[in-house]
Amino acid sequence: MASDTAAGALKPAPAAPKSRGSVTGTRRTVAALFLLPALVLLGALVVYPIGYSVVRSFYDQSGDGFAGFDNYQALFTDDGIRAALKNNIIWVVFAPTVATALGLIFAVLTERVRWGTAFKLVVFMPMAISMLAAGIIFRLVYDQDPDKGVANAVWVGVHDTFAQSSALPKAHPGRESPLEPAGGGAFITRSPVSTGDTVTLPLVGVAPDLMPDDAARAAAPEPEGDRITGTTWQDFTRGKGVGTLNEVDPSELGYPGMRIEAVKDGKVVETATAGDDGTFSLSSKADGAHLRLPASNFAAPYNGIDWLGPSLVTPAIIGSYIWMWAGFAMVLIAAGLAGMPRELLEAARVDGANEWQVFRRVTVPLLAPVLAVVTVTLMINVLKVFDLVFIIAPGSSQDDANVLALELYRKGFSEDQPGIASAIAVFLLLLVIPVMWFNVRRLRREVRR
């Protein structure tokens, strides 16, 4: 017992525990050295600009006088900023919602088809295009001229399928014409016609190179005893002093498709359509009536929709944004679908649920976390949208399409009001922070699961 006690007394005390290092064994000093360049860049490119913008927002235009909250007050009193704020609300409400909904639809519908991967690739491809290039593309797509703008080319094509425009929009009576204005763009004969008469309805105003392709040489009307015959034509012959006024000359062309109405006591009793040579014929019902050329003969060609006009410029630009970002939403939602437990879907089908019920009651609730992340990410993105609005909106409509990021640029560089521009920047940051906080919190919650 004594020897054991002595041995215990001679045994050295246990060494103090070493401080625990990182999982990889890296010392804190080395880790700090590696992080230092990133922290310096973060401070120079993020922290300092934010701090400077906050301080600058409290000073006047020159930067010498303290303005207090005057610049922030301008956010809610300046008409341009208020219009931008209203448009930003429209962007935040509609753009992320529609893009996420389309992404969900694309992801679900392409899940079972054989060519789904190729379709997803095509839909996602616009994400590889810069905002600048997308803006230029859609500026051309929305061009007012149907010969240039794809949107109006399609719209005009559909419209003309159901309501053909006139080929003679500028035709009108010439000198000493038997026609006179009837109101609303129509023309009517000065005197009534009788059975057996031949009627000439000369018009001018259509350039020779704009005459309809099916226009043939005009023919003088031939009398018919029990009918009223006539001709409507382009009463113009090239060359000075060539041709006879209000008479059909050999080189003159008829107006094909011209509609003629016989009007008696304010009512249309009969109608006729001119042939390729401009000739037409009416029955004895038109006896004693005036002949009228309705305004539809001279309707200007339908030129489509003014996509970039004041009323539609914001929805049009939102459409271009959705074209770019629907693919982003689709890819994230498709990844969520791939990790979804298939047993729940099959169990719902076994219980008698149809595909719509499975989608609404099983698929969407399971995808709710992914849908929330996608929507919130797009909300952060649209709060900063600038490129598309700046490029697509023409100068005449830029005020109507204005957003906060664009107004920041205009106040800071075009109007030389850096104090207000800094206030807009701080206001945008305050709008983004809650949305970012919500997104980070949700992501952390998902990681814990």
Q: What gap in Å lies between CA 208 and CA 258, rounded to an integer? A: 17
How many CA atoms, within 13 angstroms, populate the side-chain half-sphere of residue 320? 31
Q: Is the pLDDT of residue 136 over 80?
A: yes
pLDDT band at 339 (very low <50, low <70, confident <90, very high): confident
Assess whether pLDDT exceeds 60 at residue 13: no
Task: Quote the pLDDT of residue 106.
Answer: 92
In terms of Cβ atoms closer than 10 Å to its own Cβ (0-12, 13-18, 19+), residue 434 is exposed
Query: Which residues share a beta bridge with 280?
Result: 230
Report pLDDT for 239.
Answer: 62
Which one has a higher pLDDT value, 155 or 167? 155
pLDDT beyond 90 at 413:
no
Mean pLDDT, the chain, whole residue set:
86
17-31, 138-152, 223-237, 413-427: segment of lowest average pLDDT: 17-31
Pairing mode of beta strands 198-203, 228-234: parallel
Q: What is the pLDDT of residues 84-105, one digit of tens each?
A: 999 999 999 999 999 999 999 9
The answer to whether the CB of 126 falls within 8 A of the CB of 323 is yes
Provide mean pLDDT across the span 410-437: 88
Output the pLDDT for position 11: 54
Question: Is pLDDT above 50 for 371?
Answer: yes
Judged against a pLDDT cut of 90, whether residue 210 lies above it is answered with no
